[in-house]
A and B are shown apart, each in its own frame.
Chain A
């Protein structure tokens, strides 16, 4: 096959076929691009592991909804001066980015609230009244009397007439007992900090996803302006904010910054390198051509498979550039040195086995990333494999034709390369000394190596974000650590009944100290509502009788009340602050969240959830960290097995002596890569392991080029030098990324590739008779 495809007439046909292929790719790109989008959510990088049995639509519905929520706490310089808060609320209302904003409740609003509770007071009986009614009638009548006689209760004749059983009063007291930190203050929800400042709560819901980069940027910009304005108008006003919007905007800003700096620096470096070596513009256009086609192939593959590309994938993809450029450089170097001795097709024929092995080994290394169920990495794997193949095909098919008039630089001064190879081939000091040093570095690094799978370490948010988040958690009692129980059912009624059956377990959990508190949707199921009405109806005559005996002038009220439908409750002001926790689909499937805080025993809570039907314990951070740890271990095993297989293959193919010479640089490059990571103070995580796999896949190319019997060592060395330089220019710069996951990835890769480059000449056979340095 190898011989036939390099016959000129066959090769020409193949080249034309690739032209058609590229045209097809371009058309495909134009078709898929308008329907694709850029994703910047850190969460989107994580596996979309659906909770068992929970309808995915419910889960996604909640995730999407939570992503859109924004909360502000505004503290005016004077506690009672609402002007800046009102101003802020007005500004939010004017912004098109929000579909819904809330802040001050009007007096009318509060009245509606009271009316709703009054109209449904028997159906929505509070837990304290339920408990009193559970015994005999005296419990409730005694309690009513205590309220009437207490000098502190302020009961009026009007209240007694309207609600002789005082169910409204009890509901209010119960509600106040449940409200921990926020209180209603002139229609505002407010909270006081230990320094005595009053904070006003405002809330907004975005129209579009927080991850829509452009609209997110505009909204954040506008909000920043508002913050400045409010501080100018009312000096001393403080604003705290929370929302996925801010995190995702920060992440995408940083990724874009990374992409533009890393991309431009590495691009510029590569251009200078090519111009320096080839002294011609042609190789520049050629490499650019193969890179572009590679990028198109990669994008088409990713868009077709995923429909979107993640910002992080894009950043990491710049590194693929550094590898795909290698194929072009290998061929162009060959042509530059041997352009006068051999035909373009002969050069290609000579390099083909090494190039093919290189593209296969790198693609396999990247595709191994696909095993980990992380969408961002899977995208990278596909992008790289398709991109490398595209670039490879371009080099193989077109370069022999396009590189025809490439200037030959026989006079290229390769003295240092010859000297370097000479020492490797002849000096025991090099052949033993350098690997020994690498071994020492590896051991030193290995001793200090720590692992850390905490997902939060992957992206360090700026301290002011964390500070604000802590402050908001303290002021509102609402934490952002995304720990909750999710209860779902096939209908709203089933969901609510399941929720009710969980309440006593939650109470026990709180008493056992497994958690500090929870927010429980204050809306009973239809079944419970009917029970409530029946209960009070049954007890009421006796209660009224006892009150009359005690001298209270009262009569039996009517209990004709319909039950409240979930939708009516949701549409009423009574569900204010609770709507976010409830989700109902068109088909009736519904779910409710029970956020918990101060969790000390997640295992027990998980068990508790498992023992209730339709109930799940959700703790995203821990889940993901566990997942990271599991896949890090999987990949470690995978890496070990790969090294073992490669080692056995080399030993079988090349014999023990040469086989060892080929495998030792590879193993040592992995060791040095790890050591660079640990010596720079970072710890081992999933991302560093992915980088190690790439070090294996790319580093092995270098030894393969030296083992290629058809290659000239000095030409191989030159092209490997160029390849390593371009790889370092792209990967090495990733180490400078502001996102920790990426910088750790870059660090391991650049360290490993550097070591692989330095050690690769070991694969050259040792010369028994010293040769003169040319």
Chain B
């Protein structure tokens, strides 16, 4: 459960930063090489979780912010407000009327282990990723691409069946299929890379 949580969290961060600025990439190496230093990316998201045994899928939406120097903010607005902040050292979940739930690299180094594997992406370290996943990259034409990851190591292989990323100029979709036949589909839209400066509100979320 916690592996899933952290892997996924890290993964989204990295995938966004890696893939968002690639318009006409043809290979994964190209994606990596074209990695530029765009400091900020904002997007809207729409998530749908399908949990087996549940009569209807759970839908939520909101916006997401990725700032290279600060980390990620997952700001869910519907069906209820929920803010998740994470960076390389801590992960915080905040919701109205409750003390924040904090997990730090100090009190749980294990959770942050996957993070380090995946941040390898930042440095175009394809090798580190390949140690844990089977990578299958395909260029679909017209600037569209797809990356399929299949875990090869324990405990990742006990959690995920497959993770699929779809994108063109930016990362547009993540589809996660886990071993218990539950799935999560996230669609991103309205991606922008400006303004590059954080608003006071956003800064506030990263602090503390």
Task: Let me know if A531 is at the binding interface, CB within 8 A.
Answer: no
Spot the interface stretch: A63-71, A178-186, A739-747, A756-764. Answer: A178-186
**B107 lies within 8 A of A180 (CB):** yes
**A159 lies within 8 A of B93 (CB):** no
**A553 lies within 8 A of B53 (CB):** yes
Spot the interface stretch: A32-40, A143-151, A568-576. Answer: A143-151
| CB-contact partner of B55 in A138, A169, A550, A553, under 8 A | A553
For the complex, give the distance between the alpha carbons of A176 and B103 in Å.
8
Number of interface residues of A (CB under 8 A): 40
**A173 lies within 8 A of B101 (CB):** yes
Task: Let me know if B51 is at the binding interface, CB within 8 A.
Answer: yes
Task: Let me know if A131 is at the binding interface, CB within 8 A.
Answer: yes
| CB-contact partner of B108 in A131, A160, A179, A550, under 8 A | A179
Q: Mark A66-99, 1 if CB is under 8 A from B, else 0.
A: 0000000000000000000000000000000000
**A145 lies within 8 A of B5 (CB):** no
**B8 lies within 8 A of A154 (CB):** yes
| A173-B101, A177-B107, A179-B107 known; A150 vs B79 contact (CB < 8 Å) | no
**Which B95-118 residues sit within 8 Å CB-CB of chain A?**
95-99, 101-103, 106-111
**B8 lies within 8 A of A152 (CB):** yes
Task: Let me know if B189 is at the binding interface, CB within 8 A.
Answer: no
| CB-contact partner of B95 in A142, A183, A552, under 8 A | A142
**Which B49-69 residues sit within 8 Å CB-CB of chain A?**
49, 51-56, 58, 60
For the complex, give the distance between the alpha carbons of A767 and B52 in Å.
116
User: Which residues on the A side are within 8 Å of B31 (C-beta)?
Assistant: none
User: Which residues on the B side are within 8 Å of A152 (C-beta)?
Assistant: 5-6, 8-9, 74, 84, 86, 91
**A139 lies within 8 A of B106 (CB):** no
Return B166 CB to nearest CB of chain A, in Å: 16
Return B162 CB to nearest CB of chain A, in Å: 15
Return B101 CB to nearest CB of chain A, in Å: 7
| A156-B180, A183-B110 known; A172 vs B186 contact (CB < 8 Å) | no
**A154 lies within 8 A of B51 (CB):** no
For the complex, give the distance between the alpha carbons of A179 and B106 in Å.
9
For the complex, give the distance between the alpha carbons of A128 and B99 in Å.
9
Task: Let me know if B2 is at the binding interface, CB within 8 A.
Answer: yes
| A157-B53, A159-B1 known; A142 vs B108 contact (CB < 8 Å) | no
Q: Report the nearest B residue to A554, measured CB to CB.
A: B54
User: Which residues on the B side are within 8 Å of A151 (C-beta)?
Assistant: 8-9, 12, 47, 49, 74, 184, 186
Is chain B's interface secondary structure helix, strand, loop, or mixed overall? mixed
**A154 lies within 8 A of B1 (CB):** yes
User: Which residues on the A side are within 8 Å of B47 (C-beta)?
Assistant: 149, 151
**B60 lies within 8 A of A149 (CB):** yes
For the complex, give the distance between the alpha carbons of A128 and B54 in Å.
27
For the complex, give the distance between the alpha carbons of A156 and B106 in Å.
27
User: Which residues on the A side are within 8 Å of B88 (C-beta)?
Assistant: none
Task: Let me know if A634 is at the binding interface, CB within 8 A.
Answer: no
| CB-contact partner of B54 in A131, A138, A172, A552, under 8 A | A552
**B82 lies within 8 A of A161 (CB):** no
Return A542 CB to nearest CB of chain B, in Å: 15
For the complex, give the distance between the alpha carbons of A154 and B80 in Å.
19
User: Which residues on the A side are within 8 Å of B60 (C-beta)?
Assistant: 149
| CB-contact partner of B1 in A132, A155, A180, A192, under 8 A | A155
For the complex, give the distance between the alpha carbons of A146 and B3 in Å.
18
Q: Report the nearest B residue to A179, measured CB to CB.
A: B107
**B107 lies within 8 A of A178 (CB):** yes
| CB-contact partner of A154 in B86, B101, B108, B178, under 8 A | B178
Task: Let me know if A158 is at the binding interface, CB within 8 A.
Answer: yes
**A and B contact pairs by CB, cutoff 8 A, 12 listed:** A135-B97, A139-B97, A143-B98, A145-B79, A146-B95, A148-B49, A152-B84, A155-B51, A157-B54, A159-B1, A169-B1, A180-B107
B residues touching A (Cβ–Cβ < 8 Å)? Answer: 1-6, 8-9, 12, 47, 49, 51-56, 58, 60, 74, 76, 79-80, 82, 84, 86, 91, 93, 95-99, 101-103, 106-111, 159, 178, 180, 182, 184, 186
Which 6 A-B residue pairings sit nearest by Cβ, starting from the closest? A154-B4, A152-B9, A157-B53, A156-B180, A152-B5, A157-B52
Besides A152-B8, A157-B54, 7 more A-B contacts (Cβ < 8 Å) are A142-B97, A143-B98, A146-B80, A150-B5, A151-B49, A156-B1, A177-B102
